[in-house]
Structures are given as C-alpha cells and as structure tokens.
Structure 1
C-alpha cells in the first residue's frame, strides 16, 4: 500500500477521536430547515458523521487490480479487517485477463470511448397504437420513464414472462383472443425478473449463475464455484410464432432494478466483493467476454460492500455502456428522463463504533465528574509512556477510589446525570449515523456521467419518497432511533436538494412517533401519509426551498399508495383501522379514498370505499403496478384476495369450508362528482385450486375491453358492463413449443 492510501485513513482516525466534542457544538452554516409547531428539540451537530468519514468525497477511477486491493485494504484497516473464506479461483475469466479488455462501448463491433464519470466527455399510461387504437400500459411513477414488469402489452398483443416461460397472446379483438406462443427460455433453475416492450423488441431480465472451478484454501481438488449474474436478453418478436434472441448480455451480480427511456434500457446490478481475491464485474455477450466497465470509488472509508454496476443498452443497436461504482449495496432507485439516482443506507465502518465508545467516556462522562477526578484522568490519558490497557487500568482505579469516598446519594445522583447525558449523546450519534446516501448519474442515450453524491437523514420508504423537479431533488424520510429514557423515537422530514445534492432546506419533525406509509410528489406539493394510530394526511408546499405544511387531515386508517387524480384531488389505497384500546389499532379492510385538496389548508375525504376485513389483501398495497386507474373512463381496478364471508355480494364457495377464499378484481367507478361506487367484480378463483392469495395481478385495457391478469388466467370483460368476453388459462403446464435459442 502506498502512503497516499494510508495517510487519509490515519487522518480520519485522528478526526474521529474528537467526534464527541464536535457533536456538542452548534452549526451556524446549516441550510434552513423549518420545523413543525411544538416539536422536540432538533440538534444540528458541527460536523456530520458523513463528513467525518467521507474524506473529500471525490470520485476516483480504479485503474488496476493492485489499486483495487489497496483501496479495500485501506478500508479494512478502519473496518476491523475482512475475513473471506472463498477459495482461490483456478480457472475462468479472472481480473488480470479482464483488464486486458479495453473498457469501452461497443457499437457495430467497433470500440467507442466511454466518457469517464465526473469528467466532460405517473399515471397508467394511455397510448394510441399505430392504427389509432386506444390502450393502457404499465402504471409508472415518472412520465416517459418506463418501468419493467412481468407483463407488457401494446394495442394487440400481450407478452407475459413467468418462471422460465414467455407467452405471447393475440389479445385483440377479445372475442378471438388466443395464445399464439408459449415458449421456454433455456434457463433451467433460474428465474425471470421482468421485461420491457419497445415496438417489436423485448428486453428480458433474469438472474442466473456463472460457474468456475476453484481450489479451496489448502485443498488440492478443483471444485465448482457459482456466482450470481444478470442476463439481459434482447428478443425480436416481430414474428410472434418465431421470436429470435438478438443479444444475450451477461453482467456480474444480482439484478436490482431497471428503467427504459426511448430506445435505451438502463439497469443496475449488485455484486458482492471478494475482499481476498477481488475481481471487477465483467460483461459477456453470448458467453464471450465483451468488456470490463470503468470502475470508480469514493474518497471515504465507508464500508465497501458491493460493486454497483449501471448499464445502458441500445435496444435497436449494438451499443452497450456500463460503469461500476464501489459503494454500499444500492437499494431504492429513482430515475427521471435525465438522471439516474442510486440510494442506500449509510453503512458505517466498525471503527466508528469503537471510537464512539472511547468518545462517550472522555467527552461525555469525564466532564461530569468532580474536577479533581477529571484532572487525574486527563493526566493519565496524556501520559504517552503508558499503553492503552495500562491507561484504562489506572483510570478505573482512580474512579473506584473517588466513588468510595462518595455517599450513596452522591453516587446515585452522579450516575443518573451521566446516564442521561449518555442517552442524549447516543441519540445524537444514532440520528447522525442513520442516513440515506444518494448518488446521481446523468443519462443521455448511451452516455453515463457521474454527477454528485449527497445524503439526507433517515430512511426511504420506496421510490415514491423521491422526486426530481427542474434542478431540485426532493426526498421524504423517516428517522428512527432508540433512546434509553424515551424508547423508540420516530420522526419524518422532507428535504430539498440542489443539483449537486446539497441540502438547501427542509421541514423536519413531521408527525413525531409515526412513520411514513406513503408519499407522492406532484408538482409543487408533497402529499404525505404517516401512521401510528390514526392516518394524518399532510399537504406540504414545495414551491420554495423551505417546505411548509399547508394542511392536515386526520382520519382512521392509512394509505399505502397515493395516485394523482388531478391538480385538486388524490386517490389513496390502503387499509381501514379502528382503535381497540391500550393504544392498540386493529387493521380492517382494504380502503380506497378520494381526497379533495382544492383547499390546501383544509384537505378532506370526498368518499371512500372499504373492501372486506382484516383477511382481505391487495397487491396494490405494496406494488403500484397492480393499481389501475383511468380518469377519462372514471375506472379503477385493484386485485383482491379475501375470505369469501367478508365480501359483500360474493357468493362463490370454495372446495372446503377452510378454503372459502375469493381471488379477483374489484372494479370501481370513481369521479369527484359522484364519489366511489362498486361497478362490479371479476373473479379469478377456480374450483380446483386451494391457492391462497393472488400475486402478479395486473389490469389494462385495449379499446372497449378491460383485461385482468393473475397467475392463473387472463380475463377479458367489456368495460361498460363488465360482461365477460373471453378468458385464457396461463398455468405453466402443457408442452412447450420449443426452447428459444
């Protein structure tokens, strides 16, 4: 390891030794963060945990295997070292070979330089087909940014991937709908994740495994070793009966998530690091090495736990661009038309907690001791001739001697004062360490360019906790930490960041002791639902960099998903609740609510509709792609699985009393004038099944026909009266036509 690597670590450790003192100071240069009325005290520390541990935060390129080893070794010094019992690989495509490949984009077989990062170089979408036909597609968060799903459709065909099969259905006209093709992808024991549809091209993602032979440590027999990989198949489906695989890209790591903008698909993979024998991620095409993406790390000592690889592929061409970042395990993503945001929870090195224990004593306990005792401890600490162990032995002796001279009441008062101070200190440390890290990468076709890194206190709920608006990035988070005297403490906040991901302002201490259950950014407003016992629905103004609460509504229940209706109305899907005493709440049926926010200071519920009881579940509660709403048609559809007895108007009985389970879709009429009414139900329950629940549930329409899809079937009903037109079974049974090669 060279001195340039060792020095920053030494400096950081020296800085950490003073962390306790720093945390006690005020900060005069904080961005303006407003606070809700009568909140608990908010303490801003002079230097955040992130600043202490992130060095210059500068992005740097990893140029070689030896440099990668140095980076990981430097990190391990403060992280307590790494133990890795993986065996040494003896075959396969290893790093030294991979670095011989030019890091590049590949276009028509010719190398094209890739710009280095950091350097110059929602609605259910309704569409018109080429023949003017009206149809809907996947419910997405950001307009023009498609999200992957197991089902995709156009104005005529439906494409479904399930387990290892691809089904193509000629869906319109519905009266003559039929299964055109059911074909097996040659991916035994591997699972399809989801896909995109772009004209006559599918991009199918699935997780697989790569295999190489290794010799375990101190062994002599080569043994197989498996590592996760992600496949991205580009399939031409212009001939529905004879689809053709055009590209089969393989990227090291687990599939995380993806988006499609125009003719480019962008996706993220996570690869664990073998700290003993590190190897950069590799991209293969048809099992042949293609490229090693440029790899980058950040000047900090955060626990490097993963390679996070962002890849862009041209669906209609030969271009593939990819870059790898050494950082925490990426979680929730947010993607606009111009930027890709990777986020994860801050993962502090073990050394932080070791130094924190030392700081707790010298910076919190010692100042509360009698002055003469403080002087003795400081003298021992300053004696460089003593080892750390000997220093503590002498400190503990003078502590004990001092305690022996105190009365019992003096000791109890002192110990209580110290406990409270430590509780406050620990709470500050927890609050500062619980952060969400955000990385911003600009995207433009095949161009990827790293832009900025930032952080906000707390954790995200999901992708709807983030939003980009012009040059601002808005984030809603929940902070949770444990206090010895107060128990679990919770609060919520919204932050406004600039294009460099620096916090400009925020609003914290929203709904103390509650957690965010749903969030939706719409224009200059944030609609936020928190929950503990009741459902506060907040309307928050984001027209400036200093957010403020405009209005609040408290009602029983909560919403898990919020969907825009228009500028003055929002739809919520969640659960009804009731209080049952002793600060306990019972969850009841699935609830659809229509909020009126035209008077922002006084939001109200126009109407709601409750389905079933606590036995009732809907995939729409945790997956927005299962939610369907079309404002022009005033039609809302959500999948429902419930005990039959809890549902009004449902008479189907199952094969046994214990299996009176109904699976299907509730179709609701919804508009601001008439509220919410049940239009009808569409059952997806079969008499010969004991299947409990219903997953992979989707709704879409083509012209006048509503299509509902579950694991077992595709049903077609006229939208005006829900009369059934046709149905197709989708079970993975029967003989496959052939394997798709």
Structure 2
C-alpha cells in the first residue's frame, strides 16, 4: 500500500514540475512581471507590496491588466483572466487622458441650498430612537429613517414620507417614485439622499474595430432631495458611478459611499470609474493600485458628497474583491481575502518538489537532479531525465527503504502544505483617511484568517483591532482556530493572541473599550472576555461555556452584554441540533468569571430573526428598559398542504421586552402586521414581515413592506397604522421592501 502511495505521490509532484516548467501561451512575456519565465517563479515573488502607486493614464491601466491577465494563467480576452470577475459588462467606454482628469471642464456647478434647515420641527417627539449603529457619530444607511417627527421609508421603488408624530394623527405626506432599485437612505435635516442601482445597455467600439459591441452595465446613483416641504420632495442632484453599491456612512454633513466595479478588460477595452451628474461627466477619479498580483481586481470608488452643498469628491483603488467594511469618524477600512493568481500555485508545486521531495532522496541523486534543474535543457527534456532517475532510485530501494521514504516525504509534504496554507489564509486591510470630504490613502496591513463582519473590527486611538478565524485546509486534514490582532497606526501588527478555541469559529464579536467579547461555537457557546488594555499583549480574562451561540452582541452597560442567537441541544445522532432564537443577558462585571444572568428562547427549530444578520433590526434603549426584535416564529411542525407543498406555518411580528439586570427578559407583548385570518394562514415570505422598529416618546412604530403600525409602548395597544404601497408582482425585483 505504501508503495502505491509513493508512486502516486511521485507522479503528482512530477506533473507539478512539468506543468510548472511550461509557460502558457498568452502572447505576453511573463518576464514583464516576474523578471523570468514561469519555471523561474518563486513563491516570494507573489508576496504583497506595501507601496501605493497611481495610474497616469488608461493606457497604463491596460498594460498592467494585460500583464496581470497573462500572469493569472487564464484567457485575458473575455474569460476570467483575473479581470472580468462576476461577468459585469462595459459601462460606457470613456477614454481618459493625462493623469486621470480630476474634474472635467464641463462639470456643473454645485447647487446651492435654497432653504434653511428646519429638522423635524417643534412638534416632533422629545425622545426618539435612531438607527442602531456600530460607531458613535458614524451613521449607517438603511431603508427606513426617522427624525422624531417623520418616518422616511423605501417601499419597493417608492420613497414614502409619513408624518408619524403624534401617532393618532399620522398620515402619508408624499410618495415619490425612485428610478432603479432603491437600496438605502440618509436623512440630514431638510436633505435626504437615496442610493439606487440600475442596469442599462450601451454600444461601444473596441479599439480599431468597425462594429460596436453590446455591453450590459450597472451603476450606482446617489439622489439628493430637498425635503424642506415633505409633501413635495424635490430632487436637486443625481450623481452616478459605474458599479455596484457596497456600503455608505454619514459623518456630519458628509456622506461617504463605496461603489465596487469588477475590472473588465477585453479586446483592448477597459472600463474606468466615471462620475456623472445627470448625464454629464464631471469626474474621472484618480486610480491607485498595488503592484502585487490578485486573481481578481475590483475598482473600489470611494466618493464623498456634502449633502448640503452637493460638492462631490472621489478616488478609486484597484484591489481584491472586498467583503467587509469598518468606518470610524476618521478612517475607512476595507478588507478582502488575498486571492493569488494561478501561477502562484504552479510555482508552489515546483518549489514543493525541490524543497521537500528532493531533500529526502540520497545525496548522489539530489546532486543529479539539481544539476539537471540548472541545465539549459527544455522543460520536457529536464523532466524526462528527472523521472528516469526517480524510477531507478525507487526500484533499487529495499521494501524498508521504500516505506521510510514514503513516510518521510508524506510528513514533509504535509508540514510544507500546512505552512503554505497558513500563508495563503490572509486578510488584507486597506486604511483610507476621511476628513470633511477629503479622501487620502494611509496604510495597508495583513492578518492571518478571515473576518466575520464589521463587528470583527474596531479602531481605538492609534490602534486597530481585529478578530479572525483561521481555517487551514491541507490534503489530509483541516484546522480551525481564532485570533485577535492589535495593529498600530500604520497597520503593522503590534500584539496578537492566537489559537483561541481550536476547532471552533467566531459567531459574533463586540469591541467595547479595552475589552473584546467573542463568541465561538461548535457544540457549546464559549463567551470569551479578552483584555486589550496592553496592545502588545492581548489576553483572555475569562470564559463562559453554555449551549447555543450568539450571532449578535450588544452592550447593555459596561458590565452587561446582550446576545441574540440560537439555542442548541445534543441530538440522538451525537451531533448538535439548532433550536429557536435565544436572547441572553451576560454579566461581565467579574471579567474572570462571566455569567449568564438570564435567557429567553423563542420558538423551535426554524425560528429566525433578521437581527441575527442585520444589527439595524435590533432596537434597544436602556432608559426605557426596552428591547425589540423582529421574529419569524415556527408554530407547527412541517407538513404537506392540500396542494402537496411541504410547508411550515410560522407567526411573524415583533417581540417587545422589558430588560433589566435585576429581572432579565420580561415579555411586554407581541406586535403583528397580520390580521387574524392571515395569522392562521401565514407562511414564509409575506410582505407583512416586520423588519424594523423604532420609538417616538411612548409610541412604538414597527415597519414591514405593507404598513407602518403604531402601538402604545406601555401596553402595546394599537393606535393607528399607515398602509405602504407595495405590489406583489414586483417581488422578484424589489423583494418585500
């Protein structure tokens, strides 16, 4: 058996050497990128560089992409090529000359504000909730906002403004149709901005071609409205950027939004980010890049808009495909997984053969192979000689020598692959400074592992803290563990805590002051309390193990943490079954011995809450002892209906709690947007699903796709409801929002 394994192993590494020595026919000399051909590549040549560079022209971008496409090992024209990730098409080719013009001569002047900001007016609520955000002073866009007087909500393709306070007199003031697919809004006094996405088709001419090619495009629009008259919102600006809307933040009067556009390069055509106001091009942002290889490049255009003056600024950064974003009052942090091109793996296989396999051969055999490697023979001639030597060496081994050789090589290969897997399991962090609309690149850093979401990151003074999960996959095994890294102002690692909770992964994290609260899970839910007071030496202070897990953590006060997640239980097969939604209240006053003060379980297996995935669905106010989450609660076992469909009846609405450390979770009541008949016949996917909640003074407002409902906070008695416009036929385009 070991002999068979050895033969297979030799054949595999042999194939790797042969494939690694053959340069793909790409039409571009790889020496442009590496200084040599593919057979001379080493893994170190794929390491990230820290220097930021700037393209001076579209021609320079084309040359960079041409070489990168060849280096990726894919077809550079119309295929993957590391360039056309996701299949997004041409966005209207606009050639840029010189140094990527900042502002075109035809740019329209910024509009002036014609009315003084009035806010919600004197008749608004004294006390009202706002969107649940991560960083104080950094607002996050959502599909519904309020200012203590009015509620602004995106209902499919419409912006609806409701005079919501006082609740008994609530009425719809205006309904405005929004072109495209509305995503999010911000409200700032008498200004409102809507982010939308839309598709279009353009015809462009590739370089020196006589017939146009059709390209399907996607662009993000930022629509600025004057809402000084809530009954008649007036659009005052329409900014557009080619690409997909990613995320946005508002700091003071400045709105920052990020648009991602996968870099497309084919037939001599390359798209660059273009900003328009209406139909007029006003900017081609400067484009920055890093001269290190990625399998897929994406333009990340960061734009800032002063919501009052409508002045816009933007810069674009070409980097890997991002997945998470953290924004403080001073910096934007964009993260993405390192994704190396195919030729990295070619170099890796060849390097593995020479560094791992060859050293386990007899000295004389090693010398022969090294001499062949350095000869002027062709790739096929080299391997013909090497394979002959390997066969002769193996056939002349005794059975014991064969077994020892197989064991030694297998162990060395596993160690080598584990080390490389750790080096590949990297998250890249890009730091961009923002200040009153200005955008300046600051630093780049890397950490092992992957980030769960925005709550895996935190900026504290001169340090940036991150929590990651490392997943190391080799041919024979997988390893999983968690880490905490503290980085300095330049994103160099200053301190680290690794190998936390082996064989588990992070389910939620929350940085609060000098502590990190981390929940991992495999069979039980360990809550870790981690001390970050010494940036150079983070350490675990305490740990609590209980069934279940928390997907979202929220501070109650400095000594108590709220968790929202799922309950679990051991099943009859020796595994773990996920049950209903679980609310937990943790006491962390004794950091060495955290405790669960109380828990509340909702429903059975299949019960869900949007708050598990989106913190904006979570409403909490300590002064009011108020906690509200939307819930889809399973109320019966799955069954087949009279049409033969496998269905499961659920109740949907909002759970409203009193919450104190002394009494724990006390259910005030539940609010549903469904009538009695619908509650009996309700299944998944209804427009009556409550998605958001807010309060104004002593009134609770809950929002679904079909209505806004108002209830007295004291006893949850119904006050009034406002119907929202929705069309079931538009579900697939706008969902229930």
Residue number among 41, 55, 67 corresponding to 2:60 in the alignment: 67
Using the alignment, how far apart are the partners of 1:192 and 1:212 within structure 2?
22
Structure 2 residue runs of 5 or longer lacking an equivalent are 1-27, 111-119, 638-644, 731-737
Question: In 2, Cα distance between the equivalents of 1:131 and 1:582?
Answer: 57
> CA–CA distance in 2 between the matches of 1:219 and 1:412?
63
| 1:439 and 1:454 in contact (8 A); partners too | yes
Distance 1:105 1:504, change over 3 A: farther
* Corresponding residue for residue 145 of structure 1: 138
Task: Return the alpha-carbon distance in structure 2 between the equivalents of residues 427 and 162 of structure 1.
Answer: 50
1:705 and 1:212 mapped to 2: Cα distance? 50
CA deviations on 1:371-425 (whole Å, 9 max, x unpaired) are 2221221122122x21122111111111001111123342233112212211121
Partner of 1:96: 95
CA contact (8 A) 1:556 1:576 kept: yes
Question: Where does the alignment leave 5 or more consecutive residues of structure 1 unmatched?
Answer: 20-48, 112-126, 647-655, 737-741
2:261 alignment partner in structure 1: 271
Question: Within the alignment, does 1:236 sit opposite 2:261 as a pair?
Answer: no
Residue 133 of structure 1 is matched in structure 2 by: 126
Q: Counterpart of 1:299?
A: 291
TM-score (norm 2): 0.86
Contact 1:106 1:320 in 2 (8 A): no
Preserved CA contact (<8 Å) 2:451 2:468: yes
Displacement after TM superposition at 1:731 (Å): 4.1
- Does residue 358 in structure 1 map to residue 350 in structure 2? yes
Secondary structure at the residue paired with 2:405? helix
Which whole-Å deviations, capped at 9, do the CAs of 1:45-94 have from their partners, x for residues lacking one? Answer: xxxx6x85224x2111111112112222232342225433399xx99953
Choose from 29, 35, 38 the match for 1:10: 35
Change in 2 beyond 3 A, CA 1:566/1:298: same
Identify the match of residue 170 of structure 1 among 160, 163, 166: 163
Give the direction of change, closer, same or farther, for the CA distance of 1:416–1:452 in structure 2 (3 Å limit): same
1:4-33 Cα distance to aligned partner (Å, 9 max, x none) = 99666327979952x4xxxxxxxxxxxxxx
- Aligned residue for 1:386? 377
Q: Does the alignment pair 1:477 with 2:468?
A: yes
Distance in 1 separating the partners of 2:661 and 2:567:
21
Matches within 5 A, 1:273-422: 273-276=263-266, 277-383=269-375, 385-422=376-413
Residue 427 of structure 1 and its aligned partner are, at CA, apart by 1.4
Q: Deviations over 1:195-219 (max 9, x none)?
A: 1111121110011124321468999
- SS of 1:332's equivalent? strand
Distance across 1 between alignment mates of 2:485 and 2:470? 13
Partner of 2:563: 572
Q: Is the 8 A contact 1:65 1:95 kept in 2?
A: no
CA contact (8 A) 2:336 2:429 kept: yes
Instruction: Label 1:16 to 1:466 Cα distance change in 2 as closer, same or farther (>3 A).
Output: farther
Corresponding residue of 1:625: 616
Partner of 1:45: none
User: Residue deviations 1:89-123, cap 9 Å, x none?
Assistant: x9995332576983049999569xxxxxxxxxxxx
Asked whether the equivalents of residues 107 and 280 of structure 2 are also in contact (C-alpha less than 8 Å), the reply is no
The equivalent of 1:708 in structure 2 is 702
Tell me the distance in 2 between the aligned counterparts of 1:621 and 1:137.
19
8 Å CA contact 2:254–2:304 kept in 1: the answer is yes
Residues in 1 aligned to 2:655 and 2:91: alpha-carbon distance in whole angstroms:
53
Number of residue pairs matched by the alignment: 672
Q: How far off is 1:722 after superposition? A: 1.0
Q: Tell me, yes or no, if the aligned pair for 2:649 and 2:682 is still in contact at 8 Å.
A: no
Calculate the TM-score normalised by the size of structure 1: 0.85
CA distance in 2, matches of 1:636, 1:303: 45
Q: Does the Cα contact within 8 Å between 2:705 and 2:726 map onto a contact in 1?
A: no
Distance across 2 between alignment mates of 1:641 and 1:353:
46
Write the deviation string for residues 687-721 of structure 1: whole angstroms up to 9, x where unpaired. 35755146561111001101111222211111111
Q: Please report how far the alpha carbon of residue 669 of structure 1 lies from its aligned counterpart in structure 2 after TM superposition.
A: 1.0
- Within 2, Cα distance between the matches of 1:446 and 1:461? 29
1:719 to 710, 713, 716: 713
Shift of 1:304: 4.9
| Aligned-residue CA RMSD (Å) | 3.0
